[in-house]
Amino acid sequence: MSLVGIGYDCHRLAAGRRLVIGGVEIPSDVGLVGHSDADVLAHAVTDALLGAAGLGDIGEHFPDTDERWRDADSIALLSQVVELLDARSLRPLNIDCTVIAEAPRLAPYRGAIRARLAQAVGLAPARVSVKATTAEGMGFIGRGEGVGALAVASVEEISRLSGDGSRLPGDGPRGGDG
C-alpha cells in the first residue's frame, strides 16, 4: 500500500541571509529568512512526508519557538522525519517538487539539489524529481520578495515479516512515542 502527502512552504527573501534550497547553498545577494536555515524546499518535502504518514506538520515537530531549531540544518530535520516514518514501518517511495523563484535561476543547481534530497530521504536520485519555475513577475514571488516550494511525496509500508511470518523486532504495534 502506498500513501501520498503534499507540502507547501514559502519564505521571505532578505539581504544578509544564506540562500539554501534543497540543502544546496546557492550564491545570491539575498537569502531566505526563517528561524532555521529557511530551506523552503526541504520544508515542503518534510511536510509532504509527514502528510503522507498522517503525522502532522513540520511546525508541530520542530516549532520555531524552540531554540533547538534556530539556524537548524533543514536537511537534518528532513532525515529525522524519515526516521520517524521508519519507526512506523513507512519509507519514502518517491518525491516530486517544484520551487517557484524569480531569481536566481535554479536550473544549474537542480542536479545537486536532487542528489542532496535523495541522500537525505534514502532514495535513488531517480525517485526524486526537482523542478523550478518562476512566477512570471507576478505577486510576492514575482517581485522577488520570497520563494515558494511545493512537494508531493509517496510512502509505502515496510514489510518486516520474517520468513516464517512472525514479526521481527522493531515491528510492534504502533504507538509509544506518539
Question: What is the binding site for Mg ion (CB under 5 A)?
Answer: 9, 43
- Report, in Å, the least distance between residue 121 CB and Mg ion: 17
**Residue 43 phi, psi (nearest 5):** -65, -40
35 vs 91, which CB is nearer to Mg ion?
35
Min dist. Cβ of residue 147 to Mg ion (A): 10
Q: Smaller CB distance to Mg ion: residue 39 or 102?
A: 39
For residue 131, which phi and psi values (nearest 5 degrees)?
A: -120, 155
CA–CA dist 87, 108 (Å, integer): 36
Nearer to Mg ion, 9 or 102 (CB): 9
CB of 89 to Mg ion, least distance (A): 27
Give the whole-angstrom CA distance, residue 76 versus residue 71.
Answer: 12
Please report how close the Cβ of residue 86 comes to Mg ion at its closest, in angstroms. 23
Are residues 22 and 29 in contact, defined by beta-carbon separation less than 8 angstroms? no
**Which of residues 84 and 163 has its CB atom nearest to Mg ion in the complex?**
84
Half-sphere exposure for 161 (CA within 13 Å, toward CB) = 6
